[in-house]
Structure 1
Amino acid sequence: MAAASPPPPPTPAPTPAVTLPNSHTLFARIRLATSSDVPHIHKLIHQMAVFERLTHLFSATESSLSSTLFPTTSPSPPFHSTTVLLLEISPTPFPTTTHSLFPPITKSFNFDLPIADPDADLFRSSPNNAVVAGFVLFFPNYSTFLAKPGFYIEDLFVRECYRRKGFGKMLLSAVAAQAAKMGYGRVEWVVLDWNVNAIKFYEEMGAQILQEWRICRLTGEALQAYALN
């Protein structure tokens, strides 16, 4: 009688399929704003006024922004007067461009979920089906203690759907890098005391929150009264 054949080797257990999380890539670019960006800048400032509960102080128009930010007579070069950097977001990479005064800064971000932008059509920017997601506006000031110029950031704003994703850090870093490149001594700005998210963000960026300083401001009728003297 023939010997029984050995039993077949056990079938290897199937390797479980590995499900990778969906990755949604967005490309960000920071560039110098131009006069053609004024409509977007105006809408961003209005959204910022709504967020800061200060719409009663908002009186800027596209015309007044255009004439003061981008004057046609004797314009000053960027970074030596009021300067605006725009943050744009695109689902595709931005084309390589050069600018003698400020080469655009680009970076890619990966998210587990797509970002829903309800105002995408209002902030559409060409090319690449990009949208304007935020801005930073700043201008030179001077420190007598350091005997060096610096930058004062008047506004830094990212639209709500793009917050807490690294885009604000990208904007602030762009201003700080430019100040360091130019040999400036500091970058300053103010923050509303109730905006705890912004305060925490700035502290994580390495900024000191100076509790002992208070803003003094002359504006409106109080300022105009001096014109009569």
Structure 2
Amino acid sequence: MAAAAPPPPPSAAPITLPESTPSGHTLFTRIRLATILDVPHIHSLIHQMAVFERLTHLFSATTDGLSATLFPPNAPPPFTSFTIFLLELSDSPFPPTQNDHFAPLLKTLNLDLSIDDPDKEAFRSNGNDGNTDVTVGGFVLFFPNYSSFLAKPGFYIEDIFVRECYRRRGMGKMLLSAVAAQAAKMGYGRVEWVVLDWNVNAITFYEQMGAQILPEWRICRLTGDALQTYAHTDV
């Protein structure tokens, strides 16, 4: 009797592939002029900057003081005195906005992953007509100065700061570029700022942008008791 035929091989189990998930994350950014409504966030950003620069012992600013000096009644127009650009971020596109002095700068960033912002709620923007999806990520504070050698005005950047979770994504460069673009638009001769000598990453970043680091110059400062003493010195 013939041997029984071997049973057929088992059919391969169907392979189910996981559903494809879109990779990457789109982040929308905006640089706009700050207003008095932004002072609480500006104060918090300055404090974070003081912590980063190890200078909290010099930090004494208050929200009332910032409001009174940055946004006084009958304040001069932007760019003629103290001016702040605020960096904002959102998962949704920003709607068009109008401003007589400065058209907000919009840019879309395509990131590999979304950014985990542990302080997102604390830095929810106050100036967006009820849009709760907007977060403040950084700022730059600057004001006019003058170069007698060039016979032209310029801008001096007092502060530039991006919150830690948003660094290394080109946002500091965006803020600096916004100031440089405004200076060029107004026919100004230069933009200047200082950097702490231990902040090697910042120095490298500025040099890559084409900025000159001037080690032969030193900052001279009268402040606090020394300022008051010298102000009342009989010369």
TM-score (norm 1): 0.90
Alignment of 1:62-211 (within 5 A): 62-72=63-73, 74-125=74-125, 126=128, 127=131, 129-211=133-215
Residue identity matched to 1:103: A
**SS, match of residue 172 in structure 2:** helix
**Amino acid across the alignment from 2:102:** F
Aligned position for 2:6: none
Counterpart of 1:80, as a letter, is T
Q: Distance in 2 between matches of 1:188 and 1:128?
A: 35
CA distance in structure 1 between the aligned counterparts of 2:169 and 2:205, rounded to whole angstroms: 11
SS in 1 for 2:87: strand
Structure 1 unmatched runs, 5+: 1-16
Contact 2:30 2:89 in 1 (8 A): yes
Letter in 1 for 2:230: Y
The unaligned stretches of length 5 or more in structure 2 are 1-17
Task: Give the letter aligned to residue 161 of structure 2.
Answer: F
Instruction: Provide, for residues 86-124 of structure 1, a one-character-per-residue CA deviation record: whole Å limited to 9, x for no partner.
Output: 000000000001111000000000111111001001100
User: Do 2:124 and 2:135's aligned partners in 1 also have CA atoms closer than 8 Å?
Assistant: yes
- TM-score normalised to structure 2 length: 0.87
Partners of 1:120 and 1:191 in 2: how far apart?
28
**2:55 matched to 1:51?**
no
SS in 2 for 1:124: coil
In the alignment of these two chains, the number of paired residues is: 212
- The amino acid of 2:68's aligned partner reads S
1:228, CA displacement in angstroms? 2.4
Question: Which of residues 217, 222, 229 in structure 2 aligns to 1:218?
Answer: 222
Percent of counterpart pairs with the same letter? Answer: 73
CA-atom RMSD, angstroms?
A: 1.5
